C-alpha cells in the first residue's frame, strides 16, 4: 500500500504544488473552502476528499455540509472516495457532535444515491466492525458498507 499524505492548503496554487511533490502517494485533500474543494476535484488527481464539518454554519432552512449533488457527480466521474473525519466526531462536544453527525448523514444520502465509496479517516485506531456499525446507523447502504475502509493517519 502506498504511503498516505494529508494536504490542507488555503490556495489552489499551494495545493497544486503539494500534489506535484507527492504524486506517488495516496493523497487525502481537506479544506474549509467549498470552492477550493470543487476546483481540486475538477482539476487535480486525488484519492480521498475529506470534508471537515466542525467550523460550518448551517443555513436557516438547510444544513451546510460542504457536499452537494454536483460535487457528488464529479467525485463519481473521477473515482474519488469521500472521507469522513472520525477524530472530529470523537473530540467534539455533544451539541456540536449532533450537528456534525447530521451533516455527515446528509452527505451519506448523496453517496448512497450516487453509489460513492466512503472512507473513515482518523488518528485513533478503531475496529472496522465498529465503523461499519456506525456507518449503518448513519444510513450507509449495506453495499457501500461492505467495501468501506479505515485509514489511520
| Mean pLDDT calculated for residue range 133-153 | 89
- Determine the Cα–Cα distance for residues 90 and 128; give it in Å rounded to an integer: 16
> What is the span of the domain harbouring residue 75?
4-152
pLDDT tens figures, 63-107: 889 999 999 999 999 999 999 999 999 999 999 999 999 999 999
Tally of structural domains, the chain: 1
- Determine the Cα–Cα distance for residues 138 and 22; give it in Å rounded to an integer: 33
The CATH number of residue 39's host domain is 3.20.20.140
Phi (first) and psi of residue 70, to 5 degrees: -65, -45
Amino acid at each position: 500500500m502506498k504511503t498516505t499524505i494529508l494536504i490542507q492548503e488555503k490556495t489552489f496554487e499551494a495545493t497544486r504544488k503539494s500534489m506535484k511533490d507527492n504524486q506517488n502517494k495516496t493523497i487525502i485533500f481537506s479544506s474549509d473552502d467549498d470552492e477550493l474543494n470543487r476546483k481540486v476535484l475538477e482539476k487535480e488527481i486525488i484519492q480521498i476528499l475529506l470534508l471537515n464539518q466542525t467550523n460550518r454554519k448551517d443555513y436557516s432552512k438547510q444544513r451546510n455540509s460542504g457536499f452537494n449533488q454536483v460535487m457528488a457527480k464529479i467525485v463519481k466521474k473521477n473515482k474519488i472516495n469521500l472521507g469522513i473525519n472520525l477524530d472530529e466526531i470523537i473530540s467534539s462536544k455533544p451539541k456540536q457532535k449532533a450537528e456534525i453527525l447530521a451533516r455527515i448523514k446528509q452527505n451519506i444520502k448523496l453517496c448512497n444515491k450516487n453509489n460513492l465509496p466512503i472512507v473513515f479517516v482518523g488518528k485513533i485506531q478503531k475496529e472496522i466492525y465498529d465503523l461499519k456499525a456506525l456507518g449503518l446507523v448513519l444510513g450507509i447502504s449495506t453495499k457501500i458498507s461492505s467495501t468501506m475502509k479505515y485509514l489511520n493517519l
